[in-house]
Amino acid sequence: MGSQRALKPPEVTIIGCGTPTPLPDRFGSSFVVDVAGEKLLFDCGPATTWKLVKAGISPTEIDNVFFTHHHFDHDADFPTFILTRWDQNVPVDRELEVYGPVLTEKFTNGIIDEDDGLFAHDWLARVHHPASQITFADRGGKLPRHKPMVTPRDMEPGLIKAGASWQVTAAPAEHVQPYLDSLAYRLDSDEGSVVLTGDTRPCDSVTELAKGADVLMMMCWESHDRMDGNEHADASCSIRGAAETASEAEVKQLVMVHVGARLNTTEMKGPREIEAQEAWNGRIVWGEELMKVPWPR
């Protein structure tokens, strides 16, 4: 992975741990992995930018974004993230690199493209209006100001990006094809590995990607009895499905994320634990927003 070694295992912060249904304590999907001093953002669901700040992470600390797929609960806050990161970066902007399945380039360019981008009016006003120029300079910005530096890339499964002591690889995830392509990601570093499945049903490609990982962060939509035998089972993962994947992949720790609304009710706290433990006897963490995921020992 390189000669430079990380000083500690990757630190994972759950930014968004919910679904398309907004709840008081969770909404949408988003995660930050801090590895060797670099912060990588996986998905950018509703209110991600604000929740990053609540977690003590500035958008300006992030230079790499990885999308699992393009449902709104995974990408709706990306315009806010791009513009906030650009607006707050001083003295000058840094390039933001964006990776994901097909539609990532179209989606990103549709936000900031000077001629057709839906938010181009915003950055054009901030670049050219004297009051905006003064505000930027007062924050330490260097004029003249330029448009946001964002490079999106549509990616196929395989190696996505390598850093000095880490690399991100991807495998196909099975969700709502053929309408949207989906990727699951694995980050390997000198000090540990974490897999973020995005939305998926249990499938061989995700299990293989997760083989031997320290941490598996997997979608958990509903209980198995509510999903078995209907269309949900073709697109999403039950409690049992996530636990069975963890068992087959022989991971050290399973973190349930994208947790369905019913599973967060008081009456489901006990039954969900039982269902998970019936399929796997390893360590299970039920994700909460702004949680620092404990690293398995």
**22 in Cβ contact with 16 (< 8 Å):** no
Distance CA 163, CA 161 (A): 7
Q: Which pLDDT value is given to residue 149?
A: 98
DSSP state of 295: P
What is the number of helices (H) and of strands (E) in the chain?
Answer: 10, 13
Backbone angles phi, psi at 53, to 5 degrees: -65, -40
**186 in Cβ contact with 21 (< 8 Å):** no
- Average pLDDT per run of 10 along the chain, which is 297 residues long? 65 97 96 96 98 98 98 98 98 97 98 97 98 96 96 98 96 97 97 97 98 98 91 93 97 97 92 93 96 93
- CATH architecture of structural domain 11-286: 4-Layer Sandwich (3.60)
Q: Which pLDDT value is given to residue 183?
A: 98
Distance CA 245, CA 201 (A): 10
H or E element at residue 135: helix 130-138
Q: Which pLDDT value is given to residue 1?
A: 63
**9 in Cβ contact with 20 (< 8 Å):** no
DSSP state of 293: P
pTM of the model: 0.96
SS3 7: coil
Give domain limits for the chain. 11-286
Cα of 55 vs its chain's centroid, Å: 15
Three-point CA angle 197, 104, 172, nearest 5°: 35
SS3 294: coil
Backbone angles phi, psi at 274, to 5 degrees: -65, -45
Nearest to 149 by CA among 102, 108, 204: 108
Q: Which pLDDT value is given to residue 3?
A: 46
